[in-house]
Amino acid sequence: MEEIANLFQGFAVALQPFNIAVMVLGIVLGVIIGVLPGLGGANGVAILLPLTFSMPPTSAIIMLSCIYWGALFGGAITSILFNIPGEPWSVATTFDGYPMAQQGKAAEALTAAFTSSFVGALFAVVMITLVAPLVAGFALRFGPAEKFAVYFLAFCSFVGLSKEPPFKTIAAMMIGFALAAVGLDSITGQLRLTFGSTELLNGFDFLIAVIGLFGLGEIFLTMEEGLRFQGGKAKIDLRVVLRTWMSLPQYWMTSLRSCVIGCWMGVTPAGATPASFMSYGIAKRVSKNGNNFGKGEIEGVIAPETAAHAAGTAALLPMLSLGVPGSPTAAVLLGGLLIWGLQPGPMLFVEQKEFVWGLIASMYLGNLVGLIIVLTCVPVFAAILRVPFSIIAPLILVLCAIGAYSVHNSTFDVVMMLVFGIIGYALKKCNYPLAPLVLAIVLGDKAEEAFRQSLLGSQGSLGIFFSNTLVSSIMILGLIALFWSVIQNGFTRLRTRTAAA
């Protein structure tokens, strides 16, 4: 009952006129970001983060999270109308969404996609409402060793459970650890990797790195590819919406299964993209209309959209309750919380109740507002793609530069943003993932501090990380996650030999 009372208090915060205004603004900006290929939820949040510095933390995080919800909604528009995935997780939506649009069923496909996204997010938010306080309460027992074990589990999960090659994931993570180590050592007070530069005494600002890596890196790559858009039209009327809504309940099993898959992938660092593909693949295998998948089957739109939105929302659970982000966008939001002086983790639920429950309440409202906006404004958002990318790209670059300069009012930050942009471009060209790098930048110094504090308390003994049931269980889970692909291959070989015998 306490969670319900806290949630109602959160609604009182989220329903304040200013917070409603930033919620709508965030959704609109997010849909625009989702519609434009080359950007994305993490990129948009990183680029627009400086705009929130003058806001109260609760309003700022509501706006940034709504940008994320809007990007999740917006990715479906280009996937269905233009066969251009606005987001990586929207690729699976193109398989059946675009064929439906070619058959004159664009309105049905868009309605199904938006409604499924809303259902997936609602399922994940309910889960966060019920589970996050329990996880946070349990995490209050954590000391330095337990905190490091959680960070270790997060890093190992990115290596072992990600679809990226483990070597590239580890290499990207090592770069992030090196960047996180620049500046003042929190334990000894000595300077590290500053090379005599006074500007680097406090290390690399997280926001500068993220704007460069995500914002500029994506734009440079998109400019090189010479992306061009072709205009398209779409209109959704009330009759189509009602007719589609009446047909959706027959796919309740697909929606429920996709919600579960999405929430699981969101809590683990797998993310929305593998969730959408896995949900689509399972739906195709299980559905009685599986042979029609890829030819314009509405179930092929419902499954990936539900899973992607559930995963994107569920990724905030470990960030809020443990201080460990479950996705690149959650990592950017985590950096924003740190900039505002808020420490994500179990104490956040104790010290900043109004903030946490205001954010959770805004998830309910933000997704409802997003559903209404995208259903009524599809033609407007689709028309954005008629603006030449040669005009959009310079505007985004200027916005990135203004955002970087506004952090410390320093031109050095703009230069560093360009450097990070080139690094991000090079890593993307070489197919190195950016998510582990961002995770390492955000959590690297915290993991190092927890590790060294643990060793100081145990007089240098690594046995501290296996000294009790809690910490040893988390460390073992981390090791299992790290070597998960090896374990899977071993089981596969064993089954093959057993079958052959």
pLDDT, tens only, 253-292? 888 888 888 887 777 655 676 677 778 777 877 777 767 7
For residues 458-493, one letter each, b for 16 or more C-beta atoms within 10 angstroms of the residue's C-beta and e for the rest, the string is: eeeeeebbeeeeebeebbebbeebbbbeeeeeeeee
For residues 102-118, one letter each, b for 16 or more C-beta atoms within 10 angstroms of the residue's C-beta and e for the rest, the string is: eeebbbbbbbbbbbbbb
pLDDT in tens, the chain (501 residues): 566 777 777 788 788 888 888 888 888 888 877 776 556 666 677 777 777 777 887 888 888 888 877 877 777 777 777 666 656 667 678 778 878 877 777 778 888 888 888 888 888 888 888 877 777 666 666 778 877 887 787 788 777 766 678 888 888 888 888 888 887 777 777 778 777 777 777 777 766 777 777 667 767 777 776 655 443 445 566 777 777 788 878 888 888 888 888 887 777 655 676 677 778 777 877 777 767 777 778 888 888 888 888 887 887 777 777 777 666 677 777 777 777 777 777 677 777 777 778 888 888 888 888 888 877 776 666 565 566 667 767 777 777 777 677 667 778 888 888 888 888 888 888 888 776 787 788 777 778 888 888 888 888 788 888 888 878 887 888 888 788 777 777 777 777 777 766
* Residue 322 domain flag: yes
* Residue 120 domain flag: yes
* Residue 321 domain flag: yes
Q: How many domains does the chain have?
A: 1
pLDDT computed for residue 229 by the predictor: 47
* Residue 383 domain flag: yes
- Percent helix, strand, coil in the chain, to 5, is 80, 0, 20
pLDDT computed for residue 326 by the predictor: 63
* Residue 369 domain flag: yes
Q: Where are the beta strands (DSSP E) in 183-242?
A: 183-184, 191-192
pLDDT computed for residue 384 by the predictor: 59
* Residue 172 domain flag: no
* Residue 212 domain flag: yes
pLDDT computed for residue 42 by the predictor: 67
pLDDT computed for residue 447 by the predictor: 83
pLDDT computed for residue 231 by the predictor: 39
pLDDT computed for residue 237 by the predictor: 63
Query: 314-350: per-residue pLDDT in tens?
Result: 877 777 777 776 666 777 777 777 777 777 776 777 7
Query: 19-53: per-residue pLDDT in tens?
Result: 888 888 888 888 877 776 556 666 677 777 777 77
For residues 257-290, one letter each, b for 16 or more C-beta atoms within 10 angstroms of the residue's C-beta and e for the rest, the string is: bbbbbbbbbbbbbbbbbbbbbbbbebbbeebeee
Report long-range pairs for 353-357 (Cβ below 8 Å, ≥24 apart): 353/6, 353/9, 354/9, 354/10, 354/13, 354/58, 355/57, 355/58, 355/61, 356/10, 356/132, 356/320, 357/6, 357/7, 357/9, 357/10, 357/13
pLDDT computed for residue 230 by the predictor: 45
* Residue 85 domain flag: yes
pTM strictly above 0.85 = no
Range of the domain at 321: 2-139+196-229+252-425
Give the number of other CB atoms < 10 A from CB of residue 244.
Answer: 20
Q: What are phi and psi of 288, to 5 degrees?
A: -70, -20
